[in-house]
Chain A
Amino acid sequence: MREIILIAIAAIFVENFVLSKFLGICPFLGVSKKTSTAVGMGGAIIFVITLSSAITWFIYEYMLKPNDLTYLRTIAFILVIAALVQLVETVMKKFMPPLYRALGIYLPLITTNCAVLGAALLIIEREYTFLKAVVFGFASAVGFTLALVLFSGVRERIETNDIPPAFRGLPITLIAAALVSVAFFGFQGLFGI
Chain B
Amino acid sequence: MARSDKKALSVLTSGFMKENPVLKLVLGTCPTLAVTTMARNGIGMGIAATFVLLGSNIVISLIRKIVPDKVRIPVFITVIAGFTTIADMLLHAFLPDVYKELGIYIPLIVVNCIIFARAEMFASKNGVGMSILDALGMGAGFTIALLLMGSVREILGAGTWMGIPVTKNLVDPAVIMILPPGGFLAFGFIVAAIQKLSVLKVRNKEIAGGCDMNCAGCAAAVDGGDKQ
Q: Give the size range of B's interface with the partner.
A: 35 or more
Kindly state the separation between the CA atoms of A73 and B226 in the bound complex, as whole angstroms.
21
Asked if residues B30 and A114 are in contact (CB atoms below 8 Å), the reply is yes
Which residues from chain A contact B126 at a C-beta distance below 8 Å? none
Looking at the complex, which one of A71, A125, A175 makes contact with B184 (CB distance below 8 Å)?
Answer: A175
Beta-carbon nearest neighbor of B82 in chain A: A75
Asked if residues A113 and B211 are in contact (CB atoms below 8 Å), the reply is no
Interface contact tally, CB-CB below 8 A: 162
Asked if residues B113 and A112 are in contact (CB atoms below 8 Å), the reply is yes
Looking at the complex, which one of B30, B180, B182 makes contact with A24 (CB distance below 8 Å)?
Answer: B30
Asked if residues A108 and B89 are in contact (CB atoms below 8 Å), the reply is no
Instruction: Number of A interface residues at 8 Å Cβ cutoff, please give it.
Output: 50
The yes or no answer to B110 lying at the interface (CB within 8 A) is yes
Q: Which of A65-124 contact B (CB under 8 A)?
A: 71-75, 78-79, 82, 86, 108-114, 117-118, 121-122
Asked if residues B191 and A171 are in contact (CB atoms below 8 Å), the reply is yes
Asked if residues B180 and A181 are in contact (CB atoms below 8 Å), the reply is yes
**Provided the pairs A22-B30, A74-B84, A125-B104 are in contact, do residues A168 and B89 lie with their beta carbons within 8 angstroms?**
no
Beta-carbon nearest neighbor of A107 in chain B: B223
Asked if residues B182 and A178 are in contact (CB atoms below 8 Å), the reply is yes
Kindly state the separation between the CA atoms of A26 and B107 in the bound complex, as whole angstroms.
18
Main secondary structure of the interface of B (DSSP, over half): helix
The yes or no answer to A135 lying at the interface (CB within 8 A) is no
The yes or no answer to B81 lying at the interface (CB within 8 A) is yes
Asked if residues A117 and B108 are in contact (CB atoms below 8 Å), the reply is yes
The yes or no answer to A166 lying at the interface (CB within 8 A) is yes
Beta-carbon nearest neighbor of B81 in chain A: A75
**Provided the pairs A166-B192, A178-B185 are in contact, do residues A112 and B104 lie with their beta carbons within 8 angstroms?**
no
Which residues from chain A contact B189 at a C-beta distance below 8 Å? 171, 175
Given contacts A75-B81, A86-B226, list 14 more A-B pairs with CB under 8 A: A19-B181, A21-B180, A26-B113, A71-B88, A74-B81, A86-B227, A111-B219, A112-B215, A117-B107, A117-B108, A117-B111, A166-B195, A178-B182, A185-B181
10 contacting pairs across A/B (C-beta < 8 A): A22-B180, A25-B29, A26-B113, A26-B214, A73-B107, A114-B108, A165-B201, A165-B204, A169-B205, A177-B188
- A interface vs B, CB < 8 Å? 19-27, 29-31, 71-75, 78-79, 82, 86, 108-114, 117-118, 121-122, 125, 165-175, 177-179, 181-182, 185
